Structure 1
Amino acid sequence: MRRDAVRNRRNLLEAAGETLRTEPGAVTMPVIAERADLSLGTAYRYFPSVDEVLKAYLLGVIVQLRNHSHDCTQTGPALFEEVVREWGPTTGKGGATKLKAMCGADALLDLHAVQDSRP
């Protein structure tokens, strides 16, 4: 993938996360594109809908939490509490609920499909 394509995709995902953390009620593709400093058309080239960008963001958060918990030396309840502490800043107040609601009931199935399709 070209460097500009990697940068644009990363900027869209970061903008989606920032929007979830700061304005969970304003998560739309135009807002995400603006925060990423990209045109709306360019944003839609990477993700066909706001649901798709949120699913990609959620997958990134899950991978981040998995890596964090894997590297953590704690176990049992202490590990759970550490992962919860890591999860909060990632999604912000109300962000996790908004993300779940916007992605729909099939989000985890879609995430499994994405994960299974990776080499």
Structure 2
Amino acid sequence: MRSDTERNRRRLVKAAAFLAGRHGTAVKMADVAERAEVAAATAYRHFGSVEEILAEYRFDVGLRLLTFSQRAESHGITLLDEVSREWVRLVVKHGRAMVHTRSGEGYLARLRSGAHYLTVQADALARPIAEAAEELGLPAPGDEGHFLWNILFDPREIFDLKDTVGLSEAQLSRRLVAAYCGSLRGWTLDGAPEDADR
């Protein structure tokens, strides 16, 4: 990709994140183009919508999480705790634009259809979730384990716990990991074969 093309893409992503963090879903492509100091036509050559730009923003954050997860040397619940804590840190660092990368379609439907900004996050969590489940004596939960993690670690809820309840990043991460382990146990046990006929 040419350097000016890559520069324009980066500027558009940064502009969309800035505006979405302040104005939510009311942001228009023309606003993003103006903030990025590019023509609207240039913006549309790179992205089809503001939602697409924000998905790219979320993907970039997911890549950072994936890199962290791949480099982590811990195992089991400790690994899950470290990766989850890093996610909380990334969400807070990258701001409220993370809240606006949502969809009317459910998480599992998007994940199974290959939404790139979710699959990179799922890749980052695959080993931590599988190893935590094993440490808990549970079978690997597959993408339903990702679903449960996503419910608890949704950026909107992270900001709510931080700003409304006043929890520190470390506190909210610890509590969410503990809640996740409990919900994973309940989810897995409820799906046991002897319950299938109920």
Aligned residue-pair number: 111
For 1:4-36, what per-residue CA distance to the aligned partner results, in whole angstroms no more than 9, with x for missing partners?
Answer: 111111111111222232222433211111111
Question: What CA distance in whole angstroms lies between the structure 2 residues aligned with 1:41 and 1:13?
Answer: 15
Question: What CA distance in whole angstroms lies between the structure 1 residues aligned with 2:40 and 2:93?
Answer: 27
- What's 2:24 paired with? 24
Give ranges in structure 2 of 5+ residues lacking alignment.
Answer: 121-198
- Deviating more after overlay: 49-58 vs 32-41: 49-58
Question: What CA distance in whole angstroms lies between the structure 1 residues aligned with 2:35 and 2:6?
Answer: 16
The question of whether the paired residues in 2 share the 8 Å contact of 1:13 and 1:57 is answered with yes
Question: What CA distance in whole angstroms lies between the structure 2 residues aligned with 1:25 and 1:100?
Answer: 10
Higher relative contact order (CA 8 A, sep 6+): 1
The question of whether the paired residues in 2 share the 8 Å contact of 1:19 and 1:27 is answered with yes
The code of the aligned residue for 1:81 comes to R
Q: CA deviation at 1:84?
A: 1.0
Q: CA deviation at 1:59?
A: 1.4
Question: What CA distance in whole angstroms lies between the structure 1 residues aligned with 2:69 and 2:58?
Answer: 16
In the TM superposition, 1:1-119 aligns within 5 A as 1-71=1-71, 75-90=79-94, 92-93=95-96, 95-101=97-103, 104-105=105-106, 107-108=110-111, 109-111=114-116
Identity %: 32
Q: CA deviation at 1:78?
A: 3.9
Question: What CA distance in whole angstroms lies between the structure 2 residues aligned with 1:31 and 1:99?
Answer: 17
Give the 3 Å change call, closer, same or farther, for CA 73–34 of structure 1 in structure 2. Answer: farther
Q: Which of the pair has more CA radius of gyration?
A: 2
Aligned-CA RMSD value:
2.7
The question of whether the paired residues in 1 share the 8 Å contact of 2:13 and 2:57 is answered with yes
The question of whether the paired residues in 2 share the 8 Å contact of 1:15 and 1:36 is answered with yes
The question of whether the paired residues in 2 share the 8 Å contact of 1:68 and 1:83 is answered with no
The question of whether the paired residues in 2 share the 8 Å contact of 1:29 and 1:40 is answered with yes
The code of the aligned residue for 1:98 comes to H
Question: What CA distance in whole angstroms lies between the structure 2 residues aligned with 1:48 and 1:9?
Answer: 12
Give the 3 Å change call, closer, same or farther, for CA 100–73 of structure 1 in structure 2. Answer: same
